[in-house]
Structure 1
Amino acid sequence: MGYLARFSELGSADVATAGGKGANLGELTRAGLPVPPGAVLLTSAYDDAVAAAGIGGRIAELAADPDRDAASARIRELFREAAVPEDIAAAVREAYAELGGAVAVRSSATAEDLAGASFAGQQDTLLDVRGEEAVLAAVVECWSSLWTARAMEYRAGHRARQGIGPDPVSLAVVIQRMVDADASGVLFTADPTTGRRDRIAIGAAWGLGESVVGGLVSTDDLVVDRVTFAEVSRRIADKAEMTVRTGGGTAQVPVPAQMRRAPVLDPAAAAELARLGARIEEHFGAPQDIEWCRAAGVFAIVQSRPVTALPPPAADPPRDWPLPYRGGLYFRASIVEQMPDPLTPLFADLVDGAVTRALSALFAQIVGGAGVREGDLRFPTVNGYAYYFYRGSGLARLTVRMPLAFRTLRGTDGSGRAGIRGWREHAHPEYAGTVASWAVRDLAGMSPAALLDGAATLLEAGCRYYTAVQSIIPLAATAEIAFAAFYDRAVRRPGDPAAGTFLVGADSVPILAEKSLYDLAAAARVAGLAESVAAVDTDELVRAVRDDDPPAGADPQAWRGWATLVREHLARYGHTVYDLDFSAPTPADEPGPLLGTVRRHLTGEGADPYARQRRLVDRRDAQTALVRHRLGPLRRRTFDALLRRARETGPVREDALADMGLAWPLIRRMLRELGGRLVEACTLTSPDDVYWLTAAELRAGVPGPVEERRMLHRGRRLVAPPQMLPELPRLERALQAVMPARDRNQTGSTIRGIAAASGAVTATARVLRGPEDFSGMRPGEVLVARITTPAWTSLFAQAAAVVTDVGGPLSHSSIVAREYGIPAVLGTGAATTRIRTGDRVRVDGDAGTVTLLEG
């Protein structure tokens, strides 16, 4: 075969010699698909050219340089300075002679267009190349593009997961007849947004396709049904620019005015293209990401690669928000902040009545029985998202009685469940006692009905407990607000720190849990287990701890002692929840994220929480002393009283919230026991399917459509729910100060939220959906999430700042961010939809803004 192979001579098995792009084009050609003719300059040409120039060793040295931009520039110089061996140049001329005219010269790396990682766009493509010498120069540019900074970074990011390193990577070059395309774009044979395999997604633009692949132009977006090939949806873009040939290259030019809003593909053309895509997927046997072009009404395929990271199938995202009850308002606040995602059917079924009964009882206690009537409060879901519903008349009565409610909370003697004494002396002991009474029961001996009743009883106990916590939150909030207001207006001078500086340093439960993880790392060092713990992956570490089975090289006795300490930590802190929906595992169920934090401490990535706390406390005490020294007697007494009250109530709120999930590990064991029995009876396929049934279905033993509900749930997760329904802009603006999130439809480079923790920082963003993403967090990144609960606290030690969709200046995120001395902007409503991992952002915790700088 020598250095050159025609497309007709290549197939999927030739990735090692033709690269991913070349092998796929050969496979498409041999399958009879409409591929413009061409040939591939094989990887042997690259390898021999590098060897002949004697630059292989130097490339390896430069590739190890952490300054990838400088390394890439020098490597590309090495290629341009090297002479191309004559036999390789002859192969290039031969390929061009067969094609003639204008050609496209495309890189085709051996680590490209694979099922596990596409590496798309990491190397160069040159279009409209004319003449032998220009084609030869383009080949050299493609060779050198194997070592662009972005390509080296991309390979490094996948190295551990895919086994791709710098040494075995080589590059082929595709030389293909240029299509004078009037339109082009991409086609996915499965919807990449929803993961649905019965939908085909098409992006279409005028002109050449490289600008589409590179994201330089707007595209019409069409979705076509896979069975009927009828359009499901279409969005026609304002296509301001397009890429065109210049007779020796390409250029961006304005789209003629009459074409800007004209559809690139009519329904018939879209159906024809979709059928072609379906045929390609059928040939390869897997969903495909296809690049296409059209000239004179005829479609051509210029690339097809496997779709990587295709999400599980999801239903179409909801567009309307139908209200189950009329005559009132719906709010996503309070306990709903701990439910960022749509609820699973079983949780939604059980929690509605539990929250309604618990909250009605609390209001009856603090405002009197006449304040709440039947139907005034409900806890429904809208598109799966939980909302508080307040009937208009009931909301009015409660609003009038709020001053009485606050006096009741402040003056409670502890005889009820409300207030700090009520929580400490009644609510918490009762909740813990209920959990303990169920924990001693033999789950294997309980009937299915008893298991479901037990889970419902424990959930009811948790909701009653949370209502008691709700009575603490306003006390803590008003204490902190009162101190901050007095300090800002009557004490603070230019140059003085923010009020939050005086409120840090408490050993709340989340802080104690973080210290405990640090102590586990220290204990591993003392026991001689540091290398063993750091060497194994997280999954293996979890298994070794659970089974008391030491990893290779670990002393068995030392391991058993350390594993006992880990289990003690999980027994003490493992019930903190990431999401109140009991379908979400707790740290006790899946301790991987916590053990990942322990490993980071052992590898030096974690910060010492004791040292951090000492620094904050020293600064707090020094600033307090300075302020008190300059105040007169009256202002000093007021300052002391307000500060003491704020310091007393804030940590209580955090302690109370941390125990909200006390029953959750037991609830999950009960439901998984029930689910396991249904699997044995061949009713369900997995124990976790139990969460996708309703209580009535479980009692009747008749399962519902589990997979359909999962798809519906995935589709609903793609939208950001309104904070208030019905959506009344004037009322939303009036209530914005007390709502936990700002406008979810914000546009522009600045996202506004709530200034929650002082300071400003510029860093790279890391968007996390849940504990499954925790391992991706790196020190110095900005943590971006829908919410954070006490179970997220271990990540704050790594974060440069915190940004959330939901939350406020007195939420958990704010309190913990202050304890860590990092800026926080909360309640943006749009952070996780506007920011992507890798974006550079500036977080200003004083102004309450997040500025998007670059991607």
Structure 2
Amino acid sequence: MTNIAVVQTKMASPAVPGFEFDEKADLEQSPAWFLDATHSVPPWTPLFGWFWINFCRHGMQYGAEKLSLPTVKGWDWRFKNGGGYLTVMLVKTEAEQLEREKRFRVTIRPFIENYDGLWRSQLDEILALYEDLKKLDLDKASNIELLDNFEQTINVCRRMWEVHMYMMYGTFTGYILFENMCRELIGIDDTHPLFHKLIAGFDNKVLQVDKRIWEFSQKAAKLGLADIILRSESADIAANVEAAPSGHGFMAEFRAFLNEDGWRMQRMSEMNMPTWIEDPAPPLTNLKQFLVKGGGFNLEEEREKISKEREAAEKEVFAKIAPEQKGWFTTVLRLAQKSGIFSEEHDHYLDLYTHAMMRRSALGIGRRLVSAGAIDTLEDIFFITPEDIRKVAINPDQYKLQPSVVSRRAEWQEWCKTPNPPVILREGFDMDQAMAMLVKSNDPIALKVVVGSMPVVRAELNADLHGTCGSPGVVEGLARVILSEDQLADVQPGEILVTATTSPSWTPVFSFIKGVVMDRGASLSHAAIVGREYGIPVLMNVFVGTQKIKTGQRIRVDANMGALYILDK
């Protein structure tokens, strides 16, 4: 009988072929490459990095071209040590800018004329694609069907990023236009408290999910489950509640809620951790925190106040504007006010949901590869690439991917030990020139989400740290330094959160903290938007807050002035 040779892979190939950072070639193409610290810190696993670099890159160029943005053609992306590095693609000639501007006046109209209808149509398309993916029973499917589902997932990811960036560029360009008008007509920008009041006080899907969890906390209290939840560690809440007489029905209802809105992971930009559907501990921890806090859902209480402040701010601003300018100013304001809504809703419906679909498909294939001996553990799937999957998926018993997995996992572990530099510059090109390049691009995502404004150091303030205002206010309290999502259960009511960045998984803690200090952030980043809705100060782009501040120190945050004081030295 002829023995069948089992193929063993050699050294692992690049995680993202064609897009690995090449210092010589890429610095010739562009003098500045910025680390996307909002999404790729800590470093991505190889499989997730492949998806992000390929399709976020594609989506940004797609959105910029579909809208014909006058000054920028989107971003180019590279993968380096688990980090995503980006550079803006400038429109190079004035003649081309003028031509693109003519087209842009047409392409932006749907956003101005029927924003809600446009977003709804895009959303319906994506949600239908998710339902198609979920129809396949991954454990009963054939290998061919599993591979087909994976290829469909790739296509859904590609389409998601097209919708994502078309909507984001259109919406956030409106925000930029409004900020420019505010500078010109009333002398304020989007770091000014008055500007923040003009765009705050709106509901969105992420906040609605938080409210549902709060409602479950109230129901748990009525059913006599509160003491069980409060005494339980996060990982034990589900089992302990299930064991209670009234707990089984409660958990059945809670899981039904998760089956609708739990297609998300604690980290927004990865796929190597369980979804809420797989592990309900994170949302149950949020529920527990609501019980600890007690009282009503204070976002609703706060929104009425913030909505009144917005109406007053609009009256104040309109009084300063000439009658002939009010019409267009109002139109652009209404589009800018959609920015916070879209920023949070796209996280829920696009990024988080798609990444959950990617994880679902990958785990289905992973279980099959483990069974066939092609990989050793289910988590190994995150250390291979789609090229590997395409090669082995139909006949996994013929392959051994362990050498590639070992090599890539070792690389990833090294990446996690050494942070990527925030920017890679061509020799002779400095940071001021790099920031000028971003400003020239007028790219709303770079300026308002990923990079943001640089803090202005004002010596007369005698502050320990400086940042930019994401949400106005002044607050003093004890700091709680949180470096990852799995530490969120440690946050206590009344503390000031100090972190690198935040995402929708962090939103519930905003209901009981006093303020936020972020190493990175911009006006349309998650913490700034949610901080404005909760009426708490947010200080961003402090850069070294998580290094200089320790949990338990008393700090004073003056977001209005962009200043932070460490009171316990």
Give 2:7's aligned residue. Answer: none
1:40-79 paired onto structure 2 within 5 Å: none
Give 2:562's aligned residue. Answer: 848
Answering whether residue 235 of structure 2 is matched by residue 539 of structure 1, we say yes
Answering whether residue 133 of structure 2 is matched by residue 441 of structure 1, we say no
More strand by percentage: 1
Work out the CA distance in 1 between the residues paired with 2:82 and 2:207.
Answer: 33
TM-score between both structures, scaled by the size of structure 1: 0.53
2:78–2:85 CA contact under 8 A, matched in 1: yes
Give 1:161's aligned residue. Answer: none
Q: Which residue, 162, 165, 176 being the options, matches 1:464?
A: 162
Give 1:342's aligned residue. Answer: 43
1:214-613 paired onto structure 2 within 5 Å: 322=23, 325-329=26-30, 330-332=32-34, 337-367=38-68, 378-389=76-87, 395-397=90-92, 401=96, 408=103, 411-412=106-107, 420=115, 423-424=118-119, 426-444=121-139, 445-447=141-143, 449-478=147-176, 480-482=178-180, 484-485=182-183, 488-489=186-187, 498-543=194-239, 550-552=242-244, 554-555=245-246, 559-561=248-250, 563-569=252-258, 571-572=260-261, 574-575=263-264, 578-604=267-293, 608-613=298-303
TM-score between both structures, scaled by the size of structure 2: 0.77
Q: In structure 2, give the amino acid aligned to 1:659.
A: Y
Give 1:697's aligned residue. Answer: 388
Cα-to-partner distance string for 1:481-529 (whole Å, 9 max, x where unaligned): 24653675399xxxx9633123322111222222222111122233343
Q: Which residue, 610, 613, 616 being the options, matches 2:306?
A: 616
Give 1:681's aligned residue. Answer: 372
Structure 1 residues 702 and 757 mapped into 2: Cα distance closer, same or farther (>3 Å)?
Answer: same
1:769–1:786 CA contact under 8 A, matched in 2: yes
1:757-776 paired onto structure 2 within 5 Å: 757-776=471-490
Work out the CA distance in 2 between the residues paired with 1:806 and 1:497.
Answer: 19
Shift of 1:594: 2.0
Structure 1 residues 732 and 586 mapped into 2: Cα distance closer, same or farther (>3 Å)?
Answer: farther
Work out the CA distance in 1 between the residues paired with 2:228 and 2:134.
Answer: 34
Per the alignment, in what secondary structure is the counterpart of residue 659 of structure 1?
helix
Work out the CA distance in 1 between the residues paired with 2:317 and 2:463.
Answer: 39
1:744-783 paired onto structure 2 within 5 Å: 750-783=464-497
Give 1:734's aligned residue. Answer: 436
Shift of 1:566: 4.8
Shift of 1:459: 2.4
Shift of 1:755: 1.8
1:805–1:832 CA contact under 8 A, matched in 2: yes
Runs of 5+ in structure 1 lacking a partner? 1-319
Work out the CA distance in 2 between the residues paired with 1:364 and 1:627.
Answer: 34
1:323–1:382 CA contact under 8 A, matched in 2: no
Structure 1 residues 714 and 769 mapped into 2: Cα distance closer, same or farther (>3 Å)?
Answer: farther
Cα-to-partner distance string for 1:821-848 (whole Å, 9 max, x where unaligned): 1111223333333333333333221222
Structure 1 residues 781 and 379 mapped into 2: Cα distance closer, same or farther (>3 Å)?
Answer: same
2:451–2:522 CA contact under 8 A, matched in 1: yes
Q: Which moved more, 1:810-819 or 1:462-471?
A: 462-471
Q: Which residue, 786, 790, 794 being the options, matches 2:504?
A: 790
Shift of 1:790: 2.4
Structure 1 residues 474 and 708 mapped into 2: Cα distance closer, same or farther (>3 Å)?
Answer: same
2:229–2:237 CA contact under 8 A, matched in 1: yes
The root-mean-square deviation of aligned C-alpha atoms, in Å, is 4.0
Per the alignment, in what secondary structure is the counterpart of residue 564 of structure 2?
strand
1:843–1:849 CA contact under 8 A, matched in 2: yes
Structure 1 residues 323 and 425 mapped into 2: Cα distance closer, same or farther (>3 Å)?
Answer: farther
Work out the CA distance in 2 between the residues paired with 1:480 and 1:851.
Answer: 32
Q: In structure 2, give the amino acid aligned to 1:766.
A: R
1:477–1:810 CA contact under 8 A, matched in 2: no
Work out the CA distance in 2 between the residues paired with 1:577 and 1:784.
Answer: 18
1:423–1:468 CA contact under 8 A, matched in 2: no
1:673–1:687 CA contact under 8 A, matched in 2: no
1:576–1:658 CA contact under 8 A, matched in 2: no
1:409–1:419 CA contact under 8 A, matched in 2: no
Per the alignment, in what secondary structure is the counterpart of residue 365 of structure 1?
helix
Answering whether residue 361 of structure 2 is matched by residue 670 of structure 1, we say yes
Structure showing greater radius of gyration is 1
Shift of 1:613: 2.0
Runs of 5+ in structure 2 lacking a partner? 1-20, 393-398, 440-446
Structure 1 residues 425 and 463 mapped into 2: Cα distance closer, same or farther (>3 Å)?
Answer: same
Work out the CA distance in 2 between the residues paired with 1:721 and 1:412.
Answer: 38
Structure 1 residues 854 and 651 mapped into 2: Cα distance closer, same or farther (>3 Å)?
Answer: same
1:342–1:713 CA contact under 8 A, matched in 2: yes
Q: In structure 1, give the amino acid aligned to 2:243.
A: P
Structure 1 residues 353 and 629 mapped into 2: Cα distance closer, same or farther (>3 Å)?
Answer: closer
Structure 1 residues 514 and 647 mapped into 2: Cα distance closer, same or farther (>3 Å)?
Answer: same
Structure 1 residues 323 and 829 mapped into 2: Cα distance closer, same or farther (>3 Å)?
Answer: farther
Cα-to-partner distance string for 1:194-250 (whole Å, 9 max, x where unaligned): xxxxxxxxxxxxxxxxxxxxxxxxxxxxxxxxxxxxxxxxxxxxxxxxxxxxxxxxx
Cα-to-partner distance string for 1:757-798 (whole Å, 9 max, x where unaligned): 111223222222322111111122222222212232112112
Identity %, equivalent residues: 19
Shift of 1:598: 1.0
Per the alignment, in what secondary structure is the counterpart of residue 755 of structure 1?
strand
Work out the CA distance in 1 between the residues paired with 2:417 and 2:178.
Answer: 36
1:654–1:812 CA contact under 8 A, matched in 2: yes
Q: In structure 1, give the amino acid aligned to 2:433.
A: L
Work out the CA distance in 2 between the residues paired with 1:593 and 1:820.
Answer: 21
Cα-to-partner distance string for 1:706-742 (whole Å, 9 max, x where unaligned): 3554443344234443443226324135357637167
2:216–2:254 CA contact under 8 A, matched in 1: yes
Structure 1 residues 654 and 368 mapped into 2: Cα distance closer, same or farther (>3 Å)?
Answer: closer
Structure 1 residues 734 and 365 mapped into 2: Cα distance closer, same or farther (>3 Å)?
Answer: closer
Give 2:412's aligned residue. Answer: 713
Work out the CA distance in 2 between the residues paired with 1:692 and 1:716.
Answer: 13
1:156-195 paired onto structure 2 within 5 Å: none
1:790–1:812 CA contact under 8 A, matched in 2: yes
Q: In structure 1, give the amino acid aligned to 2:379.
A: D
Structure 1 residues 527 and 780 mapped into 2: Cα distance closer, same or farther (>3 Å)?
Answer: same
Work out the CA distance in 1 between the residues paired with 2:564 and 2:164.
Answer: 32
2:263–2:277 CA contact under 8 A, matched in 1: yes
Shift of 1:617: 2.6
Work out the CA distance in 2 between the residues paired with 1:587 and 1:405.
Answer: 43
Give 1:202's aligned residue. Answer: none
More helix by percentage: 2
Work out the CA distance in 1 between the residues paired with 2:279 and 2:369.
Answer: 23
Structure 1 residues 668 and 838 mapped into 2: Cα distance closer, same or farther (>3 Å)?
Answer: same
Per the alignment, in what secondary structure is the counterpart of residue 341 of structure 1?
coil
Structure 1 residues 733 and 438 mapped into 2: Cα distance closer, same or farther (>3 Å)?
Answer: closer
Work out the CA distance in 2 between the residues paired with 1:635 and 1:413.
Answer: 19
Work out the CA distance in 1 between the residues paired with 2:300 and 2:69.
Answer: 46
Cα-to-partner distance string for 1:269-323 (whole Å, 9 max, x where unaligned): xxxxxxxxxxxxxxxxxxxxxxxxxxxxxxxxxxxxxxxxxxxxxxxxxxx9946
Shift of 1:816: 1.1
Q: Which moved more, 1:629-638 or 1:588-597?
A: 629-638
